[in-house]
């Protein structure tokens, strides 16, 4: 029977080493992995929300610009009744249709 420097047999040293490795394997790595995955998911969701906000803002700016162009066209018309009819078309939702105002 062989003994180590601590007076333990080789089998006892192997058992001790196994339990040391088993204790290290039980070290809680999963909470860190879970936190990392949750952080990544939250970052992806944040990106989606910001992207949708940017798209909504761009659409709002395009709509405002189209409305302003329609107002300028109406203001440029010669007769008062033609201008009034043009403004009524804008107020009535003609901006939503594909037909031009003029």
The model's pTM:
0.51
CA distance 90 to 95: 6
Enumerate the domain spans of the chain: 10-96
Locate all alpha helices (DSSP H) within 26-92, ordered by sequence.
30-76, 80-91
Q: What is the pLDDT of residue 4?
A: 47
Between 56 and 31, whose confidence is greater? 56
Over residues 13-36, the pLDDT tens digits come to 888 888 887 776 666 777 888 999
How many other β-carbons are positioned within 10 Å of the β-carbon of residue 55?
Answer: 10
Tokens of 57: 């803002």
Confidence grade of residue 87 (pLDDT, cut at 50, 70, 90):
confident
């Amino acid at each position: 029977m062989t003994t180590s420097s601590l007076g333990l047999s080789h089998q006892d040293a192997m058992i001790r080493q196994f339990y040391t490795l088993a204790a290290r394997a039980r070290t809680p790595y999963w909470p860190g992995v879970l936190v990392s995955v949750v952080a990544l998911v939250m970052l992806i969701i944040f990106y989606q929300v910001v992207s949708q906000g940017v798209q909504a803002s761009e659409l709002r700016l395009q709509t405002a610009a189209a409305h302003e162009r329609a107002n300028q066209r109406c203001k440029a018309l010669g007769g008062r009744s033609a201008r009034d009819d043009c403004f009524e078309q804008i107020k009535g939702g003609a901006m939503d249709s594909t037909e031009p105002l003029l």
